[in-house]
Structure 1
């Protein structure tokens, strides 16, 4: 795209400045010499600070008192804000779910893929949360690629005129037709980037990002995004629910020798695409806490690994968790029926024992993670956490009897919606 010297910045985004974003500053340029006051919600792990109001005023969550403030995330660095973003580009469900969790879902103007498909997934989890929703009507679809390629038209980003691009700039560097200069142009002429996605599986980012990239846990990403929206208190309250859920799960796990072997995978057209559950990254944030044996632990698994029926039967996991199974792309019930009728796949222990489950989305935000932890607990250890009622393709997250729920829906709904302006 030819640079348009006559294109002017929008009034709202003028209030959000990327520190050090001068011509030629480069993709990973950050701030220097900026004084800021910690918000109190930093991770404390040396992965970068989370900053609140730079004027020293510890403003209440969600308030916008006119003072500037900063937030920081790798690979972007520090971003200075004069106002809370109101028009936000979002690529992945992680950041859409985070925006909703922080009370700013109405600021989202786009999603990477089909808004109805992604919105359906969020709707499925939000159905039991009174007052919590995601309005996907009119959202722009960023990816226009086909045949497996990802293509985002930079002109669309100008049309959206976002205050903030809630996405990892290194991800956009990897897209067809994009390079560092394009990412810098969007930052300098439209609005800053703020996101980190390669922490999903701690994968290696594109070469321009590798020297300064840092990896975060899901709550660490949440803390940083919360700082960008001045919602650190709200996120801390929501994360306390997660901590309580994890504590109750860990306190009731059976001995290690009584836990099943677990495989996470996708199934398409007679082929299984496995992934590891025992590796770091927020993709496994709903499985890792159960400390189960990874059925693929002895295998060399990459994004290109594919198994046929015979190869999976050699591994023969006790439990199979089929990813993207909730209100998403895969009808796992139909897959299960197909495999049960297959002469080889029908011998899988997970099929024979009815332990082939529709599982969650690895690109999960904090609300999704709560439901996916509960779901996984019931699928892996029904005798400890209650029976999983099953899931029908296209439905909302199943109704769990109140006495068998592992976290309080009303508490989560109150946190998410209670502080909204």
Structure 2
């Protein structure tokens, strides 16, 4: 790889620094500190704002594993991300347009914009951003981001990356701040094993809000999330009476990829509160591809289709493909028309609110009200009495136009 960006860039971003150097090979994310969830010393943004920029008493420090303590001299402006749970956190804080990179930007722009029509005055455009699933040091120098909302433990697993590269980008461009392996509590690489901790989606969001000195927005959205959880924790049917579920990607209905619905981690944050029954149990590893016979043997009462809300998905075609298959037609979910769309696995906090609402109605219509028939278009416009949260309130928080 070319050395030119490293020799010309040096450490010009002196106003954004991470705390300390590599220690003995490392806190390998490139920071000192224990990653123990200590609170950053930031000042909050105004709670009655109108296009107000968040500010903080600098320097301030935010701690999260595996980075440890990360010190900021100013609130970051430009934002690199890889996965959409972190891009979605920036979006929730009104910083979606400051994201310069994410995985499959055009795909996720289209998916997120199936939800924004239900949030008055909220707009998002991720089209044409850098697609960052695989990346290079040269590209990160070129993007010149103030902060990298990405997990260094996942980046170091990429080809041509090691812990020294992580430290170089931290020192010469901007700090790392992200946690990906909390998605399903996967084992971290050996270099990060002692520094790693797992967080819920909302615990991680709180720390990201501290990075952007926007704790008031986090508090407001977390209060809405708490209200939604209180609502969905209504008495559920006994386990024997709960539907069995298959959750997966059905772009090829005859050979879907299926994912566990009851494992720890934020990938199931919108399903786990409903104490689901996984139709495959422990019989299939999450992310495996199965054939129609295996799907029929699992015999699910409900099929949840990840990406089903995306404009490129044809829910009508998925349903008809399963109905027309002689094996698929015997599956209870197919027989009873219980094939429902979902959004994304790497959901940010705003999508989590919508997906809790939709999953409640899809699994327990007798308790939470029925999910409307969905074929295409944005997230359905539910009657206000059927909504789990105030859309205007969420929009006002994102746009910084709210009172605490």
Provide, for residues 230-278 of structure 1, a one-character-per-residue CA deviation record: whole Å limited to 9, x for no partner: 1112101101101101111112533433321112122354213221111
Question: Which stretch of structure 1 is more off in the superposition, 215-224 or 244-253?
Answer: 244-253
**1:59 positional shift:** 7.0
Pairwise CA distance, 1:10:
7.3
Taking a change above 3 Å as real, the CA distance of residues 138 and 272 of structure 1, as seen in their structure-2 partners, is closer
2:386 aligns with 404
**TM-score in terms of structure 1 length:** 0.87
Aligned equivalent of 1:224, options 194, 207, 227:
207
Trace 1:149-164 onto structure 2 (pairs within 5 A): 151-164=134-147
Which residue of 2 is the match for residue 284 of structure 1?
A: 268
Q: Give per-residue Cα distances to partners, 1:46-66, cap 9 Å, x unaligned.
A: 95223123xxx6775764155
CA offset at residue 419 of structure 1? 4.9
User: Helix, strand or coil: the match of 1:262?
Assistant: strand
Look up the match of 1:75: 66
- Describe the shift of the 1:328–1:152 C-alpha distance in structure 2 as closer, same or farther (beyond 3 A): farther
Q: Report the counterpart of residue 50 of structure 2 in structure 1.
A: none
Q: Which moved more, 1:188-197 or 1:104-113?
A: 104-113
Q: SS in structure 2 opposite 1:16?
A: coil
CA contact (8 A) 1:316 1:349 kept: yes
Aligned residue number for residue 50 of structure 1: 39
Q: Tell me, in whole angstroms, the C-alpha distance in 2 between the residues paired with 1:32 and 1:289.
A: 33
What RMSD over aligned residues (CA atoms) do the two structures have, in Å?
A: 2.3
Deviations 1:120-162 (A, max 9, x none): 111111111112221224422224xxxxxxx323222111100
Name stretches of at least 5 consecutive residues in structure 1 with no aligned partner: 34-45, 144-150
Match of 1:275 in 2: 259
CA separation of 1:316 and 1:192: change in aligned 2, threshold 3 A: same
- C-alpha distance in structure 2 between counterparts of 1:47 and 1:290, whole Å: 30
1:116 is displaced (CA, Å) by 1.8
Give deviations 1:95-115, integer Å, cap 9, x for gaps. 1211111122232111122x2
1:14 to 1:419, Cα distance in 2 relative to 1, 3 A: farther
Q: How many equivalent pairs are there?
A: 394
TM-score by length of 2: 0.91
Structure showing greater relative contact order (alpha-carbon pairs closer than 8 Å, 6 or more residues apart): 2
**Cα gap change, 1:20/1:7 in structure 2, threshold over 3 Å: closer, same or farther?**
same
How many Å apart are 1:356 and its aligned residue? 1.3
CA contact (8 A) 2:181 2:188 kept: yes
Change (3 A) 1:58 1:98: closer
Q: Is the 8 A contact 1:103 1:419 kept in 2?
A: no
- Note if contact 1:50-1:223 (Cα within 8 Å) is conserved in structure 2: no
2:246–2:304 CA contact under 8 A, matched in 1: yes
Structure 1 stretches of 4+ with a deviation exceeding 6 A read none
